[in-house]
Amino acid sequence: MSLEVNGVEHSAEVEPRQLLVYFLRENLALTGTNVGCDTTSCGACTVLMDGRSVKSCTVLTVQADGAEVQTIEGLADDGKMHPLQDAFHTEHGLQCGYCTPGMIMAALGLIQEGGDLTEKDIRLGLEGNLCRCTGYHNIVKAIQSAADEMRSPASA
Amino acid sequence: MSRASTAPVAPPVAPPKEGVPVQGGVGTSALRPDGVPKVKGEFAYSSDMWDEHMLWGATVRSPHPHACIVSIDITDALKHPGVHAVLTHEDVAGRKTFGLERPDQPVLASERVRYRGEPIALVAAAHPETARRAAEAVHIDYEVLQPVTDPEVALDAATVALHPSGNVVRHIHIAHGEPDPEADVVAEATYEVGMQDQAFLGPESGLAVPDGSGGVDLYVSTQWLHVDREQLAASLALAPEEVRITLAGVGGAFGAREDLSIQIHSCMLALTTNRPVKMMYSREESFYGHVHRHPARLNYIHGATTSGELVFVKARLVFDGGAYASSSTAVCANAATLCCGPYEVPNALIDCYAVYTNNPPCGAMRGFGAVQACFAYESQMDLLAAKLAMDPVELRLRNAASTGTVTPTGQKIEGPAPVAELLTRVRDAPLPPPGSPGTPDIRELPGGVSNATHGEAVRRGIGHAAGYKNICYSEGFDDYATARVRLSAPAGEPVVEVHTAAAEVGQGVATIQLQIARTELGVEAAVLRPADTSIGSSGSSSASRQTWMTGGAVKTACEAVRERVLSTAAEVLGAEPGELYLSNGLVMSLELGAVYSLAELLGDTVVEATREYRHAPTSPLDANGQGNAHAGFAFAAHRAVVDVDVELGLVKVVDIATAQDVGMALNPQAVEGQIEGGIAQGIGLALMEEVQVIDGVIRNPSFTDYLIPTSLDMPPVHADVLELGDPGSPYGVKGVGEPPVISSTPAVVAAVRAATGRALRRIPMRPDDVAGLTDRSPAGEAPREPR
Amino acid sequence: MDIYRPASWSEALEVKRGAPESVPLAGGTDLMVDLNFGRARPQALLDLTRLAELAGWDRDNGRVRIGAGVTFTTLIAELAPELPGLAIASRTVGSPQIRNRATLGGNLGTASPAGDALPPLLAAGAEVEVASAARSRRIPLEDFFIAPKVTALEGGELIAAIVVPVADGPQQYSKIGTRNAMVIATVSFALALHPGRRRVGTGIGSAAPRPLRATEAEDFIGGVLAEHDLWSSGAPIPEPASARFGELVAAAAQPIDDVRGTVAYRRHALAVLARRTLAWAWSDYRSAA
């Protein structure tokens, strides 16, 4: 099978039962994507697959055959942090940070869908990503600020 | 977040003279040093630890909450291809037991298992799935015993003793003031708190690497490296220096990482196989693999005069410690000593028990002991107010503790205790607008996106609560933290390096240490070395103590470095050290301004100091529960506004207003984060979070059924942060982490009571309770004599 | 464990004929959880995610035929006008990540009593199109569920599509969970008004070993609406009638006590949801009339 991860093509023989998250973490050493619950509840393992957010703990690696996968490691552009990464850092949108990569990828999926992004829309869009540290407020603030930057004509 | 400053009771220790404040020093919202790696996915959590040659460990756990082990047969497990070791209690080289306060918990059970999920055997294999399958092939014969799951039954002398010492882990008796005072009005009720889970997001994990000469290096997420090491060395039969622990990235803690999980097990496997061994729990195993918040049953009688002055509090509190002691003795002490709340209570008669049962072990969780008690005493204040036909906030104001108040243990509160001000601030905070009429947005209604109501049966309620918590370790414990600070100018610029063993668990102690170093030495370039056991202990990241304690150690070490630098400068300049100070990389003179570049002064020299910091000593409690047991107190108040679907029993928290005295906000943004995060956990305990244990078995060990608040469950938070300065702490700081979780819960419950008119004496409140279908409020009986 | 990855529907059916024990895999959001927990250790998986034949829907002759592989995200985005009840229910499924992966066919195949899509499909009168290499057949949805996680599928059969009459009146779906998002139903209820047929359809979730219709309640409220000719007059439904409707819905359930709720609460909540959804749908019907 082969798939593209963060713009790089990978061909691999994988065990049928291997989950995508473990392919990313163990075969590709992309350990930014975390595992928190095994039950598709926490969202720490969220990545984008063909542009849509999915929980990589419930996708088999083989199911990603031919797909484009984007993980947290693929966000920075030539070393320059993505606006979402910047905003999570400066708005204190993280504490322990374990939920952060999944949270950022879910937010990216949400922003790329192109819908409205009021505070309530963001909260609804994050329903599948649990954070135990922050109480979510600074996360929502960070996403609002990043979305504004990403959608402003200047950055288009 | 708004910040209010009132004149400190005692001035905080003077900052290093005047000068342009350094970037990123104390009082600023300096950014986290781990923020960039965390947002880039480069931060190395314990679950990311990897070694090319490593094996994977798995744990065999008891399926029974109480049983005798008849035999353990590992032959089949050993036959699995790829299995490198299968270990049992016989392989524990040193002390067969461990424990935070008393070593009563087997490293691997030998004769008896006391809870469902107790570790019995270990497997190391080349692949995690192989390890799991081999673990299933360990055959254990049990003689199943009746589990003791009710703490009241456990207290009964006729009940089988679960430990040689009996079933009482600790009993604290407090007798304060008159033994039998008379009151005009009496309020009595019994309350119950369910078992809460810390639900950190990163399950237990770590990597043990044998050093080839009998020792081991462990990379693990934990809260207190040195107490881990003590227990590891004892059970591995190694000298402490043969066990080296480095803190790996921690995916949240909240108390759940105070006890050992994979530590001894992974090291045993590594030392046996002479290969690095990684262990990582699944979420389900995590529910069995760490302690939870103690469930408690709390019976209270409050007596007051007709004008609403508290006359007495009598209480009998029973905490279910589960199978092993963990930190039950400290939880018991916190609950007992804080159980009258932040009020003037002249007479108190308290009996608090922590007991052994065959339920999952319980121990530390954010606010421990104080959380359970606060739910009960604040509920009592509301009940009493109702009996007195008095406004509940008014009743609290009338009895509010203040500086100089003597607590039921006879301890005088020396620092600020602005209970009345905190309550007034939350009471007077602007209220959210009433629910919007017209087409409702279901996201704003109880049930949220489940579409359960369009406004039918929705009633609004408002509730208030105040609470307090001891900061740092209590009861005469030698509580200290160690820091090493090095100042040098390796590339022509001054750099300060800080080394401590303080566990950064997300709360921000890494940021704080650097901020302090910057301010104290006037050097912006500050770096933190990884926390490990090559430096002295910092104590635990718990009890809201790290900013105070490790912050104090870093500050003290910086002061020592500064003193040396300034005395050198004084010598060179022929000036008095007292006339000099450091600011922004310069040696400054009070008279002349900048007189030296710090880098130039340092040249090739490295100025280093290691210091221990201790808070003022505390004392144990005597037989009547009297003593200056606590080093300091922190206070907060909350007001909750809720909308309740009174027919379906669903709740939407609309708004939380809080006020909290943090002493001094060393990092206002981090303070805000702690307050909001703590409130989320308090709301969770009020409304949804419970490890449901029936007959000793956890019925919901997953995030599918152990629910924690989502982004849609979290209301706006209006935080009013007071900075009143504690006289006994560095910069006047108080701990920030725990108070937000303590009084937010009773405030939410009070608001739901106001909306429904129901008693609601058990948390979490379930929809059944709120809708009035069931009354799981425990019966209100009088406190019984201790048996 | 083997995994088959057929490239076409006919190939999938051939695989299933040859390996009837293989477990169909679509979005994987249920199955993978069972695998992760070691609750399921299938010998073989049959991955249906690549099959274009299952990924679309079409509308024909007053019915929508939804391919088993259509995701909830697609249902929400594309089918809300035709199947409003299903769309409301789809919005309550898991979270965006789950809705991006989870499929309608998977929800049926898992056959959990808590499957969110199931009550609205029951209320709407859906049928399941199943196929084997040898034949294709349609099963009324209410006959499809036998027990928790057990369906009427025979060896060698796969779910091809779900065929649902286009809504001819307002539809509602409502569920109970103890938090405000991402929650498995403690109990759920769907209601569909069928003015054309002068009937009311219902579906109950999480309150019996399988999703159910409350047929007695349907007959009762249908009778009330007919008796007073409310379909034509659009007059309000008398309060006692909607209360009785709620009671009958509650009576149809066979709930159990579990970690998510009690028998008493489930019955109580069902009665409330039945009354409320009837009121919402009736109000929409009246304002549309």
Check residue B780 and give its pLDDT: 46
Q: Please give the tally of structural domains in chain C.
A: 1
Which DSSP category does B361 fall into? P
**Other CB atoms within 10 Å distance of the CB of residue C40:** 15
Spatial strand order of the sheet with C171-176 comes to C171-176, C187-194, C199-205
Residues of B in contact with C186 (CB under 8 A): 767
Compare CB distances from B201 to A76, A99, A137 and report the shortest one's residue.
A99
Q: Which of B29, B201, B443 best tests the A interface by mutation, with the highest count of A CBs <10 A? A: B201
Same domain, B735 and B675: yes
Any idea what the Cα angle at residue B561 is, between residues B493 and B37, rounded to 5°?
55
Which residues between 155 and 194 in chain C have a beta carbon less than 8 angstroms from any beta carbon of chain B? 172-186
Same domain, A112 and A53: no
B449 touches chain C (CB under 8 A): yes
Same domain, B131 and B273: yes
DSSP symbols for B667-723: SHHHHHHHHHHHHHHHHHHHHT----EETTEES--STTTS----TTTPPPEEEEEE-
Q: Are B708 and A130 an interchain contact pair (Cβ–Cβ within 8 Å)?
A: yes
Check residue A30 and give its pLDDT: 98
* Interval B610-645: pLDDT, tens: 999 999 999 999 999 999 999 999 999 999 999 999
CA B119 to chain centroid, in Å, comes to 25
Q: How far apart are CA B721 and CA B661, in angstroms?
A: 6
Same domain, B676 and B753: yes
**What is the average pLDDT score of chain A?**
95
Helix (H, G, I), strand (E, B) or coil at B459: strand
Residues forming beta bridges with residue B656, ordered by sequence position: B640, B717
Same domain, B765 and B698: yes
How far is CA C59 from each of CA B256, B729, C64, C166, C190, rounded to the nearest angstrom?
Answer: 54, 72, 4, 8, 22
Helix (H, G, I), strand (E, B) or coil at B426: helix
Which of A52, A74, A96 lies at the terminal end of a domain, its last residue? Answer: A74
Compare CB distances from A127 to C25, C32, C182 and report the shortest one's residue.
C182
Helix (H, G, I), strand (E, B) or coil at B570: helix
Average pLDDT of the residues in A16-37? 96
Same domain, B597 and B509: yes
Q: Which of C179, C257, C287 best tests the B interface by mutation, with the highest count of B CBs <10 A? A: C179
Q: Are B34 and A42 an interchain contact pair (Cβ–Cβ within 8 Å)?
A: no
Contact yes or no for B429/B718 (Cβ under 8 A): yes
What CATH number is given to the structural domain containing C199? 3.30.390.50
Residues forming beta bridges with residue C44, ordered by sequence position: C2
A154: pLDDT strictly greater than 90: no
Same domain, B632 and B595: no
SS (H, E, C) chain C: CEEECCCCHHHHHHHHHHCCCCEEECCCCCHHHHHHCCCCCCCEEEECCCCHHHCCEEEECCEEEEECCCEHHHHHHHCCCCCHHHHHHHHCCCCHHHHHHCEHHHHHHHCCCCCCCHHHHHHHCCEEEEECCCCEEEEEHHHHEEECCEECCCCCCEEEEEEEECCCCCEEEEEECCCCCCCCCCEEEEEEEECCCCEEEEEEECCCCCCECCHHHHHHHHHHHHHCCHHHHCCCCCHHHHHHHHHHHHHHCCCCCECCECHHHHHHHHHHHHHHHHHHHHHHHHHHC
Check residue B10 and give its pLDDT: 40
Same domain, B664 and B726: yes
Give the pairing of strands B362-363 and B185-193.
unpaired
Same domain, A48 and A6: yes
Compare CB distances from B448 to C181, C184, C272 and report the shortest one's residue.
C181
Q: How far apart are CA C119 and CA C125, in angstroms?
A: 10
C233: pLDDT strictly greater than 50: yes
Same domain, B606 and B711: no
Q: Which of C71, C97, C180 best tests the A interface by mutation, with the highest count of A CBs <10 A? A: C97
Any idea what the Cα angle at residue B290 is, between residues B531 and B324, rounded to 5°?
115
CB-count burial class (<10 Å; 0-12, 13-18, 19+) for B503 = buried
Residue B671 lies in a domain: yes
> Does the N-terminal peptide bond of residue B764 adopt cis geometry, omega within 30 degrees of 0?
yes
Q: Which helix (H) or strand (E) holds A86?
A: helix A83-90
With a CB cutoff of 8 Å and minimum separation 6, the contacts of C82 are C59, C64, C164, C166, C167
Residues forming beta bridges with residue C151, ordered by sequence position: C145
Q: How far apart are CA C234 and CA B88, in angstroms?
A: 75
Which DSSP category does B273 fall into? H
Q: Are B648 and C260 an interchain contact pair (Cβ–Cβ within 8 Å)?
A: no
Contact yes or no for A47/B206 (Cβ under 8 A): no
Q: Please give the tally of structural domains in chain A.
A: 2
Structure tokens at C259: 């970690």
CB-count burial class (<10 Å; 0-12, 13-18, 19+) for B775 = middle
Q: Are A60 and C95 an interchain contact pair (Cβ–Cβ within 8 Å)?
A: no
B396 touches chain C (CB under 8 A): no
Check residue B18 and give its pLDDT: 61
Q: Are B449 and C181 an interchain contact pair (Cβ–Cβ within 8 Å)?
A: yes
Average pLDDT of the residues in B755-765? 97
Q: How far apart are CA C245 and CA B466, in angstroms?
A: 46
Which of A74, A102, A121 lies at the terminal end of a domain, its last residue? Answer: A74
Contact yes or no for B206/B303 (Cβ under 8 A): no
Question: Which domain covers residue C252, as residue numbers?
Answer: 171-288
Which of B247, B280, B313 lies at the terminal end of a domain, its last residue? Answer: B280
C70: pLDDT strictly greater than 90: yes
Same domain, B468 and B545: no
Residue B637 lies in a domain: yes
CA distance B713 to chain C (A): 6
Same domain, A52 and A98: no
Q: Are B673 and A131 an interchain contact pair (Cβ–Cβ within 8 Å)?
A: no
Q: Please give the tally of structural domains in chain B.
A: 3
Check residue B439 and give its pLDDT: 67
Same domain, B609 and B625: no
Furthest-apart CA atoms within chain A: distance in Å:
46
* Interval C18-28: pLDDT, tens: 999 999 999 99
- With a pLDDT cut of 90, the percent of chain C lying above it is 94
* Interval C74-114: pLDDT, tens: 999 999 999 999 999 999 999 999 999 999 999 999 999 99
Residue B187 lies in a domain: no
The single-letter code of the amino acid at A4 is E
Residue B181 lies in a domain: no
* Interval B251-268: pLDDT, tens: 999 999 999 999 999 999
Q: Are A58 and C32 an interchain contact pair (Cβ–Cβ within 8 Å)?
A: yes
Which DSSP category does B111 fall into? S
A71 touches chain B (CB under 8 A): yes
Same domain, A66 and A129: no
DSSP symbols for B206-246: EEEEE-SSS-EEEEE--SBHHHHHHHHHHHHT--GGGEEEE
Check residue B61 and give its pLDDT: 98
Same domain, A88 and A48: no
The single-letter code of the amino acid at B771 is A
Contact yes or no for B154/B166 (Cβ under 8 A): no
Same domain, A102 and A46: no
Residues of C in contact with A127 (CB under 8 A): 95-96, 181-182
Q: Are C101 and A46 an interchain contact pair (Cβ–Cβ within 8 Å)?
A: no
Residues of B in contact with C265 (CB under 8 A): 649, 766-768, 771, 773-774
A106 touches chain C (CB under 8 A): yes
Q: Following CA atoms C153, C159, C165, C171 in sequence, which dihedral angle do they give, to the nearest 10 degrees?
A: 90
Give the pairing of strands C199-205 and C187-194.
antiparallel
Give the residue from B157, B249, B152 showing the smallest Cα distance to B202. B249
B128 touches chain C (CB under 8 A): no
What CATH number is given to the structural domain containing A140? 1.10.150.120
Give the pairing of strands B347-356 and B168-176.
antiparallel
C101 touches chain A (CB under 8 A): yes
Question: Which domain covers residue A53, as residue numbers?
Answer: 2-74
Q: pLDDT grade, residue C133 (50/70/90)?
A: very high
What phi, psi does B92 have (nearest 5°)? Answer: -75, 110
Q: pLDDT grade, residue B438 (50/70/90)?
A: low
Spatial strand order of the sheet with A46-49 comes to A8-11, A2-5, A68-70, A46-49, A52-55
How far is CA C154 from each of CA B534, C28, C109, C143, C150, rounded to the nearest angstrom?
Answer: 65, 21, 12, 13, 11
Q: Are B766 and C178 an interchain contact pair (Cβ–Cβ within 8 Å)?
A: yes
Same domain, B601 and B626: no
Q: pLDDT grade, residue B456 (50/70/90)?
A: very high
Contact yes or no for B37/A73 (Cβ under 8 A): no
CB pairs under 8 A between A and B: 181
Which of B577, B596, B614 lies at the terminal end of a domain, its last residue? Answer: B614
A132 touches chain B (CB under 8 A): yes
CA distance B705 to chain C (A): 7
Structure tokens at C200: 């009311």
B774 touches chain C (CB under 8 A): yes
Q: For chain C, report the end-to-end CA distance as a whole number of angstroms.
A: 57
Residue C201 lies in a domain: yes
Furthest-apart CA atoms within chain C: distance in Å:
62
Residue B154 lies in a domain: no
Residue A156 lies in a domain: no
What CATH number is given to the structural domain containing B217? 3.90.1170.50
CB burial of B514-542 (b: ≥16 within 10 Å; e: otherwise) equals bbbbbbbbbbbbbebeebbbebbbbbbbb
Residues of B in contact with C184 (CB under 8 A): 704-705
Residue B18 lies in a domain: yes
What CATH number is given to the structural domain containing B678? 3.30.365.10
Residue C125 lies in a domain: no
Question: Which domain covers residue B345, as residue numbers?
Answer: 292-474+620-771
**Other CB atoms within 10 Å distance of the CB of residue B143:** 10
Average pLDDT of the residues in B487-500? 97
Of B201-215, B568-582, B710-724, minimum mean pLDDT range:
B568-582
What CATH number is given to the structural domain containing A40? 3.10.20.30
Residues of A in contact with B506 (CB under 8 A): 94-97, 133
Compare CB distances from C180 to B449, B648, B704 and report the shortest one's residue.
B449
Residues of A in contact with B284 (CB under 8 A): 38
B431: pLDDT strictly greater than 90: yes
Q: How far apart are CA B509 and CA B486, in angstroms?
A: 18
Residue B178 lies in a domain: no
B295: pLDDT strictly greater than 70: yes
A15 touches chain B (CB under 8 A): no
Residue of B nearest to C91 (CA): B449
CB burial of B368-396 (b: ≥16 within 10 Å; e: otherwise) equals bbbbbbbbbbbbbbbbbbebbebebbebb
A60 touches chain C (CB under 8 A): yes
Residue C157 lies in a domain: no
Give the pairing of strands B480-488 and B495-499.
antiparallel
Check residue B17 and give its pLDDT: 56
Of B19-28, B680-689, C192-201, minimum mean pLDDT range:
B19-28
Of B96-110, B319-333, B772-786, minimum mean pLDDT range:
B772-786
Contact yes or no for C253/C212 (Cβ under 8 A): yes
Check residue B437 and give its pLDDT: 61
Same domain, B139 and B214: yes
Residue of B nearest to C93 (CA): B450
Q: Which of C98, C171, C178, C277 best tests the B interface by mutation, with the highest count of B CBs <10 A? A: C178
Give the residue from B140, B548, B577, B99 showing the smallest Cα distance to B356. B99
